[in-house]
């Protein structure tokens, strides 16, 4: 068939409405392209429709939404772990026991109540830190009648509390020459010059 033999078919009403909807939804790449799109929307005037026939209603295409990520139950956020306490090295403990490494300060908690001992211990360690002490001896006592003393149980617990962690690097039981299980060597952070 030759070109002349084919009859060119015009756009139907539905085709024009569809074309208009598509042309309006297109974003031009350049400013010049916008003028071309405007020209294309005015393809042909709408022909009069017979009274019984209404044009089909077209629904605007919905905006494409990104799929939502699957809901993941939020895990409870744990507070950052405190750094581990660093006990004395074997060499340092040996040097302290032999008297080759000095104990910078001593505190004897005999005769204090728990409340008093807590306050005195905190004040003692803060003072030791500001005086650049590195190692102090805290005497808790062993207890009476074979029972472990209250301060012997509580002081190691207190040394792990936040108010003490600012000044305490680590601790461990003292050598028998310094009180053994009834005393603790406490490594203290050096005070910062402000």
| Those residues with Cβ within 8 angstroms of residue 165's Cβ, 6 or more apart along the chain or in another chain | 82
Q: Where do the domains of the chain lie, and which CATH numbers do they carry?
A: 11-63 (no CATH), 90-188 (3.30.1370.110)
CA dihedral 95, 103, 188, 87 (to 10 degrees): 30
What CA–CA distance (Å, rounded) separates 176 from 75?
47
Provide the pLDDT for residue 14: 83
Q: What share of the chain is helix, strand, coil (3-state, %, to 5)?
A: 35, 10, 50
Q: What is the pLDDT of residues 97-155, one digit of tens each?
A: 888 888 999 999 998 999 999 999 999 999 999 999 999 999 998 888 777 888 999 99
Provide the pLDDT for residue 93: 82
> pTM (2 decimals)?
0.54
What CA–CA distance (Å, rounded) separates 130 from 160?
20
Provide the pLDDT for residue 127: 93
Q: Which residues of 129-154 are buried (b: 16+ CB within 10 A; e: fewer)?
A: beeebbbbbbbbbbeeeeeebebbeb
Provide the pLDDT for residue 81: 47
* Whether 184 contacts 174, CB under 8 Å: yes
Residue 8 has pLDDT above 80, yes or no: no
Provide the pLDDT for residue 80: 47
Q: Which has more confidence, 92 or 6? A: 92
Least confident segment among 87-101, 112-126, 155-169: 87-101
What CA–CA distance (Å, rounded) separates 33 from 20?
16
Provide the pLDDT for residue 21: 82
Provide the pLDDT for residue 75: 59
Provide the pLDDT for residue 100: 86
Look up residue 95 and give its two tokens.
Answer: 């040097």
* Best mean pLDDT range from 63-72, 76-85, 118-127, 163-172: 118-127
Predicted confidence band at 58 (pLDDT cuts at 50, 70, 90)?
A: low
β-pairing, 135-139 vs 168-173, is: unpaired
Residue 38 has pLDDT above 80, yes or no: no
Provide the pLDDT for residue 123: 95
């Amino acid at each position: 068939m030759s070109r002349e033999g084919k009859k060119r078919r015009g756009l139907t009403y539905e085709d024009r409405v569809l074309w208009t909807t598509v042309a309006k939804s297109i974003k031009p790449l350049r400013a010049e392209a916008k003028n071309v799109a405007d020209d294309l929307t005015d393809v042909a005037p709408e022909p009069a429709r017979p009274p019984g026939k209404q044009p089909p209603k077209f629904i605007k295409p919905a905006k494409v939404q990104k799929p939502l990520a699957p809901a993941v139950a939020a895990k409870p956020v744990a507070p950052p772990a405190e750094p581990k306490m660093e006990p004395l090295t074997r060499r340092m403990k040996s040097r302290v026991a032999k008297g080759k490494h000095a104990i910078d300060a001593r505190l004897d908690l005999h005769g204090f109540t728990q409340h008093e001992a807590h306050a005195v211990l905190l004040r003692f360690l803060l003072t030791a830190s500001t005086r650049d002490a590195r190692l102090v001896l805290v005497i808790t006592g062993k207890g009476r009648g074979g029972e472990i003393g209250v301060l012997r149980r509580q002081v190691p617990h207190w040394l792990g509390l936040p108010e003490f962690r600012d000044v305490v690097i680590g601790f461990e039981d003292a050598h028998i020459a310094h009180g053994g299980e009834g005393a603790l060597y406490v490594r203290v952070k050096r005070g910062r010059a402000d």
